[in-house]
Amino acid sequence: MTGDRAVQVPVIPAGVLASASVELAACRASGRDTPTMRTLRPKLVERRETYEIRVVGGPAAGLRDLYHALLRVPWWGALAVIVGGYLTLNALFAALFVATGGIANAARGSFVDAFFFSVQTMGTIGYGSMYPATRLANALVVAESVMGLVVTALATGLVFARFSQTRARVVFSAIAAIAPMDGVPTLMVRVGNERRSQIVGATFHATLMRTTQTAEGVTVYRTEDLALARDRAPTLDQSWIVLHRVAPTSPLHGQTPESLAACDAELTLAVSGTDDTSLQPVHAQHTWLHHAIVWGARLADLPFRQL
């Protein structure tokens, strides 16, 4: 806490991350705090802005990015693909067994018996009640056994890759605030680590993206780096406020809410570090659109208590 008397901050309930609640205190244009500063309604942290980038005219991804897509979908989606693919493959071989016949002790033309035999073959169960009785049926058994080995290896590799992934659970403040600090206008955002583990050697990189025009009159979308007051943290195990001084050399110098809206400005903060539990690199980022940058306000202190 910084001890600002003008800011009234509610106590965060136990088990709730301090950075998950953001409270703003309005400042005067001169930058001096006053005893009559109003307190705004707390807001929850937003993880990302609601828009996506689509490539127009590019080739369709198709099956080339299937593995990458399976790593990005939720666990239930990946398991549904694995189970669905397994059942579909067995249904395909069951249809082939029905068409060719040659399965001893299976009802003639029974898809159910052929499906059960296919599952026993692919799973190398082999109860012995049904078995291939012709060369063609044996050839299908060989093909299904090889296919079963490939599918099992792919499914095992996918599950292992997902388990070995370490995803950061970093939360960001819903807004970015600009207010005077030590007599200098300062952009401030809050980040926090939701996990009980620590992110060691955390680094922060802030950029401002906006549309500008070149000397030739061509409109381009330009990215400019924002120098941070401190771009590294020894550990990120609680909330941390990232500061950028709006000095004369800053891309934000002389800007207003209207000018940022006119150039479709976006503020992006990237966080990277090493998870101290898995010892793997983790990263996260968040984008604030121009309407999420609040002027003449600052992020209030967020104390938290422990059980």
Vertex 45: Cα angle to 211 and 5 (nearest 5): 105
Overall average pLDDT of the 275-300 stretch:
88
pLDDT at position 208 over 50: yes
Domain range for 189: 18-45+173-299
269 vs 59, which has greater pLDDT?
A: 269
pTM: 0.65
**18 versus 60: which is more confidently predicted?**
60
* CATH assignment of the domain containing 38: 2.60.40.1400
- Whether residue 132 sits in one domain with residue 82: yes
The whole-number pLDDT of residue 246 equals: 93
Bridge partners, residue 202, by sequence: 233
Residue 134 to residues 24, 96, 176, Cα–Cα distance (Å): 78, 13, 72
Residues recorded for the chain: 307
Q: Pick the residue with more confidence: 44 or 245?
A: 245
Strands 232-236 and 293-295: unpaired
Residue 30 burial class via C-beta count within 10 angstroms: exposed 0-12, middle 13-18, buried 19 and up: exposed
Q: What is the pLDDT of residue 218?
A: 87
pLDDT of the residue at 106: 86
- The CATH number given to whatever domain includes residue 160 is 1.10.287.70
Mean pLDDT for 52-73 is: 77
Q: Are residues 36 and 150 located together in one domain of the fold?
A: no
